[in-house]
Amino acid sequence: MTISYTRWPASLAARYRERGYWLDLPLTDILSRHAASQHIALIDGDRPFSYQHLEQSAHQLAAALQRRGLRCGDTALVQLGNIAEFYMVFFALLKIGVAPVNALFSHQRQELDAYASQIEPALLIADRQHGLFANDDYLQQLRQCCPSLRDVVMHNAHTGDISLAELLGTGADDFVATPSAADEVAFFQLSGGSTGTPKLIPRTHNDYYYSIRRSVEVCGFDRSTRFLCALPAAHNYPLSSPGACGTFYGGGCVVLAGDPSASSCFPLIEKHQITVTALVPPAVSLWLQAVQEWGCHAALASLRLLQVGGARLSEALAARIPAELGCRLQQVFGMAEGLVNYTQLDDDDWHTFCTQGKPMSPDDEVWVADEHGQPLPIGETGRLMTRGPYTFRGYYRSPEHNAKSFDADGFYCSGDLISITADGYICVQGREKDQINRGGEKIAAEEIENLLLRHDAILQVALVSMEDHLLGEKSCAFIVGLRPLRAVEIRRYLRALGVAEFKLPDRIETVDNLPLTPVGKVDKKRLREQLAARQLTQ
């Protein structure tokens, strides 16, 4: 059984194979190519795992899940934090052709419900230490509205649960791997999104494996790489750019951190002689502040490369990185939908500090469109349009949204506003999509607006971004209500609906009406300007 998805046209698929991008290998090859190695692949707290151990654990879990009746073509909803088991589960599911959605640990009921209703999972793997699974209330509800769900496996299991730890430790003599074919869906990546329901991105073995291998080449990852994974492990950036998968591919070592704060990361960097890590801009600010305050430069001595991406990095902050943290900066402009751009390791200061890098593949086709979809000349700002060997061709089960997100030639319009330099570097100038980028965490305005509109005292609402010195952007909800509404009440309401904490509006403005554009849509540009003007006078 295969999972349906929008395929690349045969002519392009043939080209990607011919040029060696698509190797027709399963993603499990990333680990199994090192299966005999005693080299340490992964460190989680005081638990080191060799490549052999990691591969063996994934193998045993795969066998156990296969015995429980899971089959190629099934899907799974997985929610685990930055723990070794995240990778064991990921590779185990790939081995048996079960395609997971890896939800972030910060996600709550709304997000999990939305993913479950789209993929109709046969399996749930979750953590009893997550608030949603502290008791069985949510599980029962999920089982009810998700009849496809046949099996639930728990990390930190309660009595009576099927325990992940137990499945990881059972024998695997009878196991025959059944990964999905390399040009079929391996797993679903999460879209930052701009729509009411969070969209899913089908990623095939072929396209994702290429994106990892090419990232490894561009970023120079190898056996000596010691990568600190401080962002959520499931996110596309620390998973594949080159991230943990790139480190495994190169035979290096991944060290897990619980969060990207300086107090969590600096001791790990020193203890494990970390050479590279991936951050979002707000974490960079906090690291710079910590170095200034604590004078702890020495702790970072092993760090050679700091990747920064996920949101706009100001030139001023960029320039401080080599000077104050003593390492190279690499800007990363990527998206879970595919396209990833890197500044090069030997770029001059201007390219490193002022651009967001260039597309990593010679076959990434990137151009800038005006509002009518016509190409703009070099240097002008417009819509990013792209297609290529690792950029998806359609969101899962979303024909209407796909019709708007792709042009007739299959170019994906990411909603970013960019310009491209004469030498092919991308400068991110802004965004057209209705999304708030809260320090790298993406909030689809419509998703929160729809939830707020369910409140019986709210008539109209618009969620917009407002500038923030640390996070870059925060969210503000403009509300037309039947009565005055306080921010705490709104947040409590959203929390009760089960929304991830980072999506709660940072500020609430109750207004008599919302400004409209000439065509009658809410004029968010004006609302953002109003906020900016108010911030200036505060």
Q: Which residues bind ligand J2J (CB under 6 A)?
A: 192, 236-237, 240-241, 309-312, 331-336, 340, 356, 414, 416, 428, 431, 437, 442
Looking from the CA of 166 toward its CB, the CA atoms found within 13 Å total 10
Q: Residue 357 or residue 481: which is nearer to ligand J2J going by CB?
A: 357
| H-type alpha helices, 336-461 | 349-354, 399-405, 445-453
CB of 444 to ligand J2J, least distance (A): 11
Please say which residue, 53 or 433, places its beta carbon nearer to ligand J2J.
Answer: 433
- Please give the helix or strand (H or E) that residue 524 lies within, else none: helix 524-537
CB of 175 to ligand J2J, least distance (A): 32
Give Cβ neighbours of residue 19 (< 8 Å, ≥ 6 apart). Answer: 362, 363, 389
| CA-CA-CA-CA dihedral for 146, 151, 157, 160, to nearest 10 | 100
Nearer to ligand J2J, 149 or 318 (CB): 318
Output the six-digit token pair for 461.
Answer: 């609402």
- Minimum Å gap between C-beta 58 and ligand J2J is 23
Of the two residues 145 and 470, which places its CB atom closer to ligand J2J in the complex?
Answer: 470
> In whole angstroms, how close is the CB of 66 to ligand J2J at the nearest point?
31
Query: Nearest approach, Cβ of 416 to ligand J2J (angstroms)?
Result: 5
- Is residue 115 a contact partner of residue 146, using CB atoms and an 8 Å limit? no
Nearer to ligand J2J, 70 or 230 (CB): 230
421, 427, 432, 434: CA torsion to nearest 10: 160
Shortest separation between residue 237's beta carbon and ligand J2J, angstroms: 4
Pairwise CA distance, residues 443 & 436, whole Å: 5
CA distance 392 to 338: 6
Minimum CB distance to ligand J2J, residue 212 (Å): 10
Half-sphere exposure of residue 253, counting CA atoms within 13 Å on the CB side? 19
- Buried b / exposed e along 148-178 (16+ C-beta atoms within 10 A): ebebbbbbbbeeebebbeebbeeebeebebe
CA 355 – CA 343 distance, rounded (Å): 7
Beta carbon nearer to ligand J2J, 66 or 189: 189
Write out 57-80 in H/E/C secondary structure. Answer: HHHHHHHHHHHCCCCCCCEEEEEC
Distance CA 129, CA 23 (A): 39
Q: Smallest distance, Å, CB 363 to ligand J2J? A: 17
Q: Are strands 151-155 and 75-79 parallel, antiparallel or unpaired?
A: unpaired
* Closest separation in Å from C-beta 244 to ligand J2J: 12
**Smaller CB separation from ligand J2J, 172 or 317:** 317
Write out the E strands in 104-192: 123-127, 151-155, 162-163, 185-190
Q: How far is the CB of 239 from ligand J2J (least distance, A)?
A: 8
3-class DSSP state of 504: coil
Which residue in the shown chain puts its C-beta closest to ligand J2J? 334
Cβ distance to ligand J2J smaller for residue 100 or 243: 243
Query: What are the CA-CA distances from residue 511 to residues 110, 221, 462, 506, 528 (Å)?
Result: 27, 52, 11, 16, 14
